[in-house]
C-alpha cells in the first residue's frame, strides 16, 4: 500500500511539474509573439546570442512573407523564429506623417481597403516615376485609419488562411520586434519611394522622409559603422533605390547604407540614370564613398534566357567586391515559377549556386526557414 501511495504521489508531482513547464513555455511564447507593444532600453537584454557574420546574411524579405502576409508583425516574428539574421521592410508614410511598414504606394493589393465603404472616396490617381497610378494611396490615410485595415497575402498561390487577421504596423513597432527578440536580430529598412513621399507628405520645419527615417533609428539606438561594437549590438542596413536619398542620409548617420539595383534598363527615380549606368566601375567607385554594398535584382547578376535557363554570370559581383562593396541580391523564392530550370525545382540548388559559386554576401528571401536550414546543414556556426 505504501508503495502504491508513493507511486501515486510521484505521478502527481510529475503531472504538476509538466503543467508548470507547459504554462511557462506558453507564457514565454506569448511574450515572444507579441513583443512590439513595448520598446526595451536601447542597450537591450544582456547575454543574447550575437548576430552571425561568418556566412551570407539571411535577410527576411518583408518578414517570412512566403507563409504570412508581408510586412506584418506576425511575418517578422515568424522570420525571427525561423532563423533570420535581418528582418527587412519598406518604410513609407501616412497622411499625418507617421512611418509605416508597407511596400506599395497603394493599399489595393495587400489589404482589405476595398471592403471598407467609408473609404470609397479615397481612390486617386497620382504620377509616380513617370506613370499614372490609380488606387487607394497610403499617403491619403492617417495612421488611425490604416490601423482599421487588415493585411492580405499578395500572391494567390500562397496560403490565404491569414487574410484579414493582421494589421499594418509602424516603423517603431517593427524596430521593437527586433529589439525584443531573444537573440540579436538586425533590421534592414528601405527608404521607400522618397521622391513620391516627399511630394505628398509634409513634415514640420521642412523635414524630409529621410530625416524622419533616420531620426527614428537614432532615437532607438541604431548607430555605428559596419561591424563596429555599436553596430553589432543593434545591426542595421539602410537601403534605397534612390542614390541621392542615400547620399543625403549619409550626412545624417554613420550606419551602413545599401544601394538597391533594379533591372538595368530602368531609370532611377531621382537621377534619371539607368541602373546600367550606376553599375559602371566609375559609378561604383563613386558610390562606395557613401554605401557599403549594393542590392541587385538577381537577374541583373545572372540573366536568364528565353527558356528560363541561366546565361553566364555578369562580372557585377566581382566588380562590386573589387570596390569593397557587399552584394545582397533579391528575391529568393521557393515556388517553381521563380526557380530557373538549372536548379531542378530545388531551392537548395539555387542557394548552392548563389552562395558558393557567385559568392554573394547576403540574400533577400521570402522563405527564411529554407535558407536557414540550408545554411545550418552546409555551414553550421
Residues with a catalytic annotation lie at 61, 103
Report the 10 Å Cβ neighbour count for 337. 8
d(CA 296, CA 41): 35
Show the CA angle centred on residue 81, arms to residues 75 and 85, nearest 5°. 90
d(CA 321, CA 359): 10
d(CA 283, CA 268): 14
Q: 198: closest CA among 102, 125, 92? A: 92
Contact present, 233 and 268 (Cβ < 8 Å): no
Cell reading at 206: 521642412
d(CA 313, CA 319): 12
Q: Spell 129-145 as b/e; 16+ CB within 10 A means b.
A: eeeebebbbbbbbebeb
d(CA 366, CA 155): 12
Contact present, 233 and 43 (Cβ < 8 Å): yes
71, 73, 74, 79 alpha-carbon torsion, rounded to 10° = 70
160, 161, 165, 167 alpha-carbon torsion, rounded to 10° = -30
What are all long-range contacts of 127-136, with beta carbons under 8 Å and residues at least 24 apart?
Answer: 128/193, 128/196, 129/195, 129/196, 129/267, 129/269, 133/105, 133/106, 135/105, 135/106, 135/107, 135/108, 136/106, 136/107, 136/108
Q: What share of the chain is helix, strand, coil (3-state, %, to 5)?
A: 40, 15, 45
Contact present, 90 and 71 (Cβ < 8 Å): yes
Amino acid at each position: 500500500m505504501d508503495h502504491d501511495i508513493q507511486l501515486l504521489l510521484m505521478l502527481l508531482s510529475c503531472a504538476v511539474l509538466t503543467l508548470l513547464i507547459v504554462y511557462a513555455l506558453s507564457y514565454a511564447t506569448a511574450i515572444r509573439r507579441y513583443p512590439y507593444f513595448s520598446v526595451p532600453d536601447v542597450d537591450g537584454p544582456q547575454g543574447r546570442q550575437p548576430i552571425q557574420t561568418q556566412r551570407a546574411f539571411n535577410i527576411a524579405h518583408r518578414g517570412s512573407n512566403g507563409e504570412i502576409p508581408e510586412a506584418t508583425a506576425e511575418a517578422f516574428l515568424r522570420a525571427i523564429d525561423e532563423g533570420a539574421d535581418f528582418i527587412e521592410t519598406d518604410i513609407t508614410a501616412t497622411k499625418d506623417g507617421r512611418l509605416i511598414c508597407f511596400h506599395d504606394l497603394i493599399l489595393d493589393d495587400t489589404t482589405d481597403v476595398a471592403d471598407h465603404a467609408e473609404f470609397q472616396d479615397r481612390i486617386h490617381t497620382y504620377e509616380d516615376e513617370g506613370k499614372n497610378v490609380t488606387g487607394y494611396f497610403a499617403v491619403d490615410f492617417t495612421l488611425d485609419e490604416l490601423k482599421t485595415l487588415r493585411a492580405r497575402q499578395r500572391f494567390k498561390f500562397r496560403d490565404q488562411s491569414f487574410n484579414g487577421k493582421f494589421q499594418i504596423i509602424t516603423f517603431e513597432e517593427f524596430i521593437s520586434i527586433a529589439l525584443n527578440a531573444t537573440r540579436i536580430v538586425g533590421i534592414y529598412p528601405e527608404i521607400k519611394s522618397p521622391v513620391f513621399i516627399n511630394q505628398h507628405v509634409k513634415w514640420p520645419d521642412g523635414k524630409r522622409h529621410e530625416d524622419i527615417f533616420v531620426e527614428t533609428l537614432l532615437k532607438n539606438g541604431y548607430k555605428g559603422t559596419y561591424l563596429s561594437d555599436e553596430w553589432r549590438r543593434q545591426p542595421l542596413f539602410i537601403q534605397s533605390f534612390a542614390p541621392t536619398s542615400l547620399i543625403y542620409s549619409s550626412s545624417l548617420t554613420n550606419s551602413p547604407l545599401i544601394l538597391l539595383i533594379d533591372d538595368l534598363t530602368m531609370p532611377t527615380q531621382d537621377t534619371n540614370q539607368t541602373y546600367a549606368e550606376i553599375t559602371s566601375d566609375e559609378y561604383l567607385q563613386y558610390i562606395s564613398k557613401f554605401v557599403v554594398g549594393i542590392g541587385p535584382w538577381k537577374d541583373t547578376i545572372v540573366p536568364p534566357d528565353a527558356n528560363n535557363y541561366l546565361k553566364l554570370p555578369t562580372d557585377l559581383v566581382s566588380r562590386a567586391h573589387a570596390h569593397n562593396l557587399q552584394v545582397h541580391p533579391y528575391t529568393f523564392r521557393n515556388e517553381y515559377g521563380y526557380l530557373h530550370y538549372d536548379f531542378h525545382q530545388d531551392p537548395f540548388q539555387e542557394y548552392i549556386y548563389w552562395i558558393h559559386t557567385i559568392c554573394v554576401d547576403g540574400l533577400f528571401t521570402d522563405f527564411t526557414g529554407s535558407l536557414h536550414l540550408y545554411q545550418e546543414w552546409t555551414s553550421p556556426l
